[in-house]
Structure 1
Amino acid sequence: MLKMKNIHVTLKTLLASAVATACLMSTSAYALTLKLATDSGTQGSPAGDALKKWGELIEQKSNGEIKTKVFYQNELGGQQEVFDLHVAGDVDLMLNWPMTSYDKRIGVIYTPYMTMSWDEALNAYSPGGWVNNMLGGIYSDIGLKFFGPWPEGFNGVGSRGKYALNIADADGLKVRTMTVFPAPQTMQALGYQTAAIDWGEVYTALQTGVVDGEAGNVIYWDYEYFRDSLDYYVQTKHFFMTGILSGNQETWEGMSEEEQKIVSDAAIEIMNDQFKAAKQQDDHYIAKAQEAGMKYFEPNEAQIREFAKAAREKVWPQMDKEVGPEIMDTIRKNASPL
């Protein structure tokens, strides 16, 4: 009888253990795993490092209860394809240079000559800044959670054989622009011929002579990827370039408040790091490009004003139709004076 009782106890113990194991397996199986991606930036690049750190911070702050998988440039497709995955929820978190295919109002981030100095730009894009406040509502409307900007700096035109410090000299130069409005329209206003080309195809376009230059980025990208193809870089400052840290809204709403805080706090840390580092980082790559033989030009105040005046006169009225007069009224009210 004692033996039977012991067997009964042992079976109960084994059953309890099996149930506990099953529960643990179930919890593990349903542990939150977030997919992070960037549309621009390989592993080891500033953008790639920022994305990697975002994932690491999330895992650290959650004590490993949230897992992350990081995907770098072109690992999930081109810029538009990855942004599509983000909106669809197949990519949970993203550091991206946003596409306007879902809402042309996202193009406000590419408003030419909206800000004219580092101080003005960083104030506008910082949490609570007037550009930052505009972007939050726009992102929400397309199903994305806006965490904030990841600033890079003022962009310019990398070219070979010829460069332009004014509108007249740009005649005959054909440059690659981003495929989003109003990137081609801006460069046309500055006197260039344009070809809107996805980032992943720029190298081939330069090598085959489809374009004479690249007009979409801060100098880091032209130095890192195309320094063997480009002779000059003119910092025209037509856009203040910034990536955006965002999350899929459905993923966000499916998280607990604690999980949301972990992801948001990690994003804020990444942003704060970049706000401190952006100017120094840009200066570093300006020097590196010159060391590599690329000739760097910074237009003087009168030349920048010529570019800015032309872009505002020709592009801003088009933006009234695309992003709406209400948004453009806010931009006109807050933009740097000429």
Structure 2
Amino acid sequence: MKFNRYALSAMSGLALSSLMVTASIADTVRLKLAGTYPATHFGHEIVENMVKEIEDAGVGIKISYFPASQLGSGEELVEDAIRGNVDLVQAFIYAQTDPRLEMMNLPGLVTTFDELKSVYANPESNMNKILSEIMDDLGLVYLGNTGEGLVGIVANKKPNDPNGLGDKGMNIRVWSSEVAKKTTESLGYRTTTMNWAEVLPALQAGVIDGAICCTPEWAYSTFATAGVGKYFIPVNTAIEASSFYASGKSWEKLNQEQRDVIRAAAQKAALAAIDKSWDRNDGFIEKLKEAGWEILEYNTEERAALVAHIQNNVWPDLADMIGQDIMDALTEK
């Protein structure tokens, strides 16, 4: 009888332990993170580290990470996050859901690394506070901004008047942004709106002459390594950026401790991407040159003239698009 009592006690203990483990597994929140960084992009490792930091925090979160636009492009992911089909996103925030998001394309706002960090990396910057409010209106939760560097043009042929404001004699791709379209056309280019996935084959086929799209790293890793393109024009009119954000529907299911861990990890990852990317730009300019590309650089006077042209001729048109109050907040000194 003693043996039976001991056996029963042991069995009861095992059953209780099993129930506790089962309950712990059941309590684990499983989230889906959709990203756009290719596996070869340095940002991919940063996102992987972010995921590990969240999972290792011991707050009951497991994350399945899908990089390289496996779950959709940036345009698609914002819609999926609003619907709650994905829980967390790393992608550029396109403006098709709200014209105020065109503020992310404001040209000439950032021209130096210090400005990039103060505008994009500081959670209390006017841009980040406004972005958080807009995303809240959309049912999304803003977590952090990355700025990888300033965007230039990749081209198969040399434009006319490459560093001036005259007609370039070229048709180049712009992304789905009225601001990007207005800005690029004001510099003398004809434009065709095209999703990112279409750009490389369109350049290969000669459908377009070039594309405004890329930091030097993206220009090298996407185009030069594929044997496409001959010129890089660092117009620097926009920031190659992406953001971390969450579905509001998913966010509501998390407790405050889980939210705090995710937000802190996302902000840390965003700052790491900014710090690392800026340091890499010069190295990839050299790689482009080694690949036989010509860099059509601006001198100081040409750069100042370009920025003044944008601020005097493009900025006034943008207030109607994003709102004068937002425009004033972003451009105040």
> Is the CA contact (8 Å cut-off) linking 2:152 and 2:213 kept in structure 1?
yes
Separation of aligned partners in 2, 1:26 and 1:126: 39
Q: Secondary structure at the match of 1:299?
A: coil
| Deviation readout 1:77-106 (Å, 9 max, x if unpaired) | 233222222222222222211111211111
1:9 is displaced (CA, Å) by 7.5
Amino acid at match of 2:267: I
Alignment counterpart, residue 177 of structure 1, candidates 174, 179, 186: 174
Aligned to 1:234: 233
User: Is the 1:36–1:51 contact (alpha carbons within 8 Å) kept by the matching residues of 2?
Assistant: no
Determine the structure 2 residue equivalent to 1:159.
155
Residue matched to 2:201: 204
Which of the numbers 105, 111, 130 marks the counterpart of 1:116? 111
Q: Distance in 1 between matches of 2:58 and 2:171?
A: 49
Q: C-alpha displacement at 1:153, in angstroms?
A: 1.1
Give the superposed CA RMSD.
2.2
- Aligned partners of 1:169, 1:160: CA distance in 2, in Å? 17
> If the length of structure 1 is used for normalisation, what is the TM-score?
0.89
Q: Show the 5 A alignment for 1:134-283.
A: 134-163=130-159, 164-170=162-168, 172-227=169-224, 228-283=227-282
Matches within 5 A, 1:1-80: 2=1, 14=11, 17-18=14-15, 20-39=17-36, 41-62=37-58, 65-80=60-75
Please tell me whether residue 133 in structure 1 is matched to residue 125 in structure 2. no
Does residue 98 (structure 1) correspond to residue 64 (structure 2)? The answer is: no
1:152 Cα offset (Å): 0.7
User: By how many angstroms is 1:121 displaced?
Assistant: 2.6
Q: 2:102, 2:125 → 1: CA distance? A: 17
Per-residue CA deviations over 1:174-226 (Å, capped at 9, x if unaligned) read 11111123111211111111111111111111111111111022121121111
Residues in 2 aligned to 1:158 and 1:75: alpha-carbon distance in whole angstroms: 25
CA positional deviation for 1:318:
2.9
What letter matches 1:188 in structure 2?
A: E
Q: Report the Cα distance in structure 2 between the residues aligned to 1:270 and 1:182, rounded to whole angstroms.
A: 28
Distance 2:48 2:6 in 1: 50
Aligned-partner SS, 2:65: strand
SS at match of 2:108: coil
Q: Does the aligned pair in 2 maintain the 1:100–1:181 contact within 8 Å?
A: no
Aligned-partner residue type, residue 320 of structure 1 = A
Whole-angstrom distance in 2 between the partners of 1:239 and 1:61: 36
**Which letter does structure 2 place at the counterpart of 1:174?**
N
Q: Deviations over 1:297-324 (max 9, x none)?
A: 3212222233323333443233212211
Q: Which whole-Å CA distance do the structure 2 matches of 1:44 and 1:61 have between them?
A: 27
Alpha-carbon shift at residue 284 of structure 1 (Å): 2.1
1:241 Cα shift? 2.5
Amino acid at match of 2:294: K
Between the two proteins, what is the percent identity of the paired residues?
Answer: 24
One-letter code aligned to 1:94: V
SS of the aligned residue for 2:18 comes to: helix
Q: Distance in 2 between matches of 1:255 and 1:162?
A: 53
Does the CA contact (< 8 Å) of 2:121 and 2:270 recur in 1?
no
Kindly provide the amino acid, as one letter, of the partner of residue 74 in structure 1.
S
Partner Cα separation in structure 1 for residue 281 and residue 265 of structure 2: 23
Give distance in 2, aligned partners of 1:59 and 1:301: 47
In structure 2, what is the Cα distance between the partners aligned to 1:300 and 1:33? 51
Return the alpha-carbon distance in structure 2 between the equivalents of residues 316 and 332 of structure 1: 10
Once residues 12 and 277 of structure 1 are traced to their aligned partners in structure 2, the CA distance between those partners, rounded to angstroms, is 58
Deviation track 1:231-260 (CA, whole Å, cap 9, x = no partner) reads 111111101232112122232232122212
1:44-83 per-residue CA deviation (whole Å, 9 max, x = no partner) reads: 21232222221122122237x3211111123112332222
